[in-house]
Structure formats: C-alpha cells, structure tokens
Amino acid sequence: MTKPARTLGKTLPRPSGRHAVGRVTLRLVDWSRSDPWVPEQPYRELMVSLWYPSTGGGRPARYLRQGAAASLEWIDGLDVTDVGLHTDEGAAVPRGEKRPVLLFSPDFATPRDLCTTLVEDLASHGYLVVTIDHTYETAVDFPTGRITERRADRARIPARVEDVRTVLAKLTSLAEGRMPGDGHLPPGLGEILDLNRLGVFGHGAGGGTAAEAMYRDNRLRAGVVLDGEFLPPMPGHDLDRPVLLFGSEGANRAHTTDPAAGSFWARHRGWKRDLQLVGTTTLSFTDREPLLPHDPAELGTTAPGKVVTATRTHLRAFFDLHLRERPTRLFDGALSRCPEVRFIR
C-alpha cells in the first residue's frame, strides 16, 4: 500500500554568505548533436538552473519539481516539493562586479536540485552556479509540463561531458548578450558572468563528469570531485589544474583505496588534495543529510550540522583559493577546528 504523502515542514540550512540568492531556470537545446539515449532525436535538450547573488525581489523559489521528486525512491511518501529554500526566483541582479562561474553535475538518477544546500551557500558568497540535469539519466521537468522519464541504467560520462560543454557554449552566448535558451532572465545576468574564472564540481557520477570535463576543456580552471566515479584517464590527458577529491568514509573512494581514483591521482600533475569526511556515506553530500531524520545506517554517524558545515567550508575555500586567489590554510593538513575531515594527502 502506498503511504500517504506528508510534508517535511522543514527548510534547508541557511546559507552562510552575505548575499541574497536568486535563481532562473532555462531550457537549452544543442542542435549540433543527437541525443545519446534517444538517437532518433536529432538534438540534445537540457534543463539547467542558474543560482546567483542577488539584490532581492522575485518570488520564493520552489524545491524539487513534481517529476524529479517522484523519481526518487528514497522519498517513500514524503512530500519534498514544499521544502523551504533561501532563494527567490527571478530576483534582481547586482550590477558592477563580475562573478566566478561554477558548473555542477549531479549523481546518476539524481536531479540537479538535490545538492541545493551546497549551491545556495556558494551563491550567497558571490558565485554564479549552474546546475545541470542530464536528460534521460534522471527524470526532468520541462517548462511546458512535459516530464522525460529516466531511460538510462548507468551514467554515460562522455555524453555528460558534452552536456557540460553545451552549457559552456550557452553561457558564452549569454555573456555576449544573446538569449541562450527558453526562459526569462533578469536584466544584467549575462553581464556578471566571469568566464575567465570557471570551475566545476560534481557528486558521484557527476564527480567523474567534473574530472573528465577538465581533461577535455581547459577553460575549466579548478574542480571538486565529491565521491567521484572515475573513468580511466585517456592517454595524453595528464591534468595540471587544481583538483580536490572529497569523499565520504562509507564509499571510501580515496586515491589510496580506489584503483580508478589512484590512476587519476598518479597522472595529475598540478595542485591536488584528497580529503575524507568521516562518519558519512555518499548521501551525506546531498540534501538528504539535512532534510530527513538522521539514520546512521544510511548517512553515517557524524551529525548533519557538522557534515553540512564541513562540506560547505571546504568547497568554498577551494574555489576561493583557485578562482579568487584568497589564501587559506585549510588544505595544509588536518585542522582541529574541523575534526570531521580526514586529510589523506
């Protein structure tokens, strides 16, 4: 018997930055390639959200959309569509300062909004974050009400990398004053994009996507791999730009234990760190950590507040260091103020 839906009655953790957060959602179409999961479709169609520092206004943003929420098996009757955010849809854009841009790729079968706790925080600290749904690897809600169901039984990382490159091309169009897709944008959004300060991060298969995208596109200056699933490095694709591996204790995908991560680590010739968040599982990097009752069997033993704080702090410090040249000692070794993070190397 299906359990009756019930609202969690919760709000995601408040962002720690000084900026209000705005969001817009766009449908993007890449007419240069057919869909990798539906070959008879002669174009690739994506939904993305742009999260940015704002000056307020707009209307309260919704959390998961209907199709995305229904596709998550672990919801088990919970209504997460009414979860409160700290973001306004279509809020005004502050003028005068260009913002570094980060792209986010979610795990397989996971909607782009399920790491909103991390994304809102980055936007509140002055980043513009673009979250990407990889169509047919997860259910996707399109503006007309159409929902594309998941067809894939695994992540196809090369296709995901092309999705990232499509988004980069559309952002270039936006920065040049052209409308990149279907949607409504607040005035001045394209003007704040700093495409000379591009970063990428991802979770699970999205972590592997982030790493592979950095191999394929040298515009991406820095990347974070959250519990990433790696492809074997391609011959001649040694990477020399900064990468942070940040894993859960449960998945244990450190470069010292996971052969694919070890191969990536050995070939990487630039700044690199490998950290582990103790008492966690791979779900701890998602909004499931702060939203649902804490179950140590599913989320590990570390308290949700400590997990959220440690993840946000290290993610932001990494991009601040490499995209904003803001010094930090956070990656010099284990720090007593963050005992939840194990410094592997």
The CA distance from 164 to 218, in Å, is 13
pLDDT at res. 240: 92
pLDDT at res. 6: 42
Q: Where are the alpha helices (DSSP H) in 44-179?
A: 66-70, 116-124, 157-175
Packing angle of the helix pair 157-175, 205-216 (nearest 10 deg): 60
For residue 259, CA distances in Å to 230, 231, 254, 262 come to: 9, 11, 9, 5
**231 pLDDT exceeds 80?**
no
**76 pLDDT exceeds 70?**
no
Please compute Rg for the chain using Cα positions: 19
pLDDT at res. 234: 62
Confidence of residue 230 (pLDDT cuts 50, 70, 90): confident
pLDDT at res. 7: 44
Q: Strand, coil or helix: what is 336?
A: coil
DSSP string of 1-15?
A: -PPPPEE---BPPPP
Mean pLDDT, residues 197-206 taken together: 98
146 or 236, greater pLDDT: 146
pLDDT at res. 10: 81
Residue partners of 157: CB distance under 8 A and separation at least 6: 205, 208, 209, 212, 229, 231
Mean pLDDT, residues 304-312 taken together: 96
Report the chain's mean pLDDT, rounded to a whole number.
Answer: 91
**CB-based contact 302:277 (threshold 8 Å):** yes
pLDDT at res. 279: 96
Extract the tokens encoding 135.
């169509």
pLDDT at res. 5: 43
Confidence of residue 335 (pLDDT cuts 50, 70, 90): low
Confidence of residue 104 (pLDDT cuts 50, 70, 90): very high
**CB-based contact 54:61 (threshold 8 Å):** no
**1 pLDDT exceeds 50?**
no
**11 pLDDT exceeds 70?**
yes
Mean pLDDT, residues 33-47 taken together: 96
pLDDT at res. 4: 41
Task: Name the percent of the chain lying above pLDDT 70.
Answer: 93
**190 pLDDT exceeds 90?**
yes
Question: From edge to edge, which strands make up the β-sheet containing 59-60?
Answer: 59-60, 87-89, 20-30, 44-54, 128-133, 99-105, 193-203, 220-226, 243-248, 272-277, 341-343
The CA distance from 109 to 239, in Å, is 28
**164 pLDDT exceeds 90?**
yes
pTM, 2 dp:
0.94
**97 pLDDT exceeds 80?**
yes
**324 pLDDT exceeds 80?**
yes
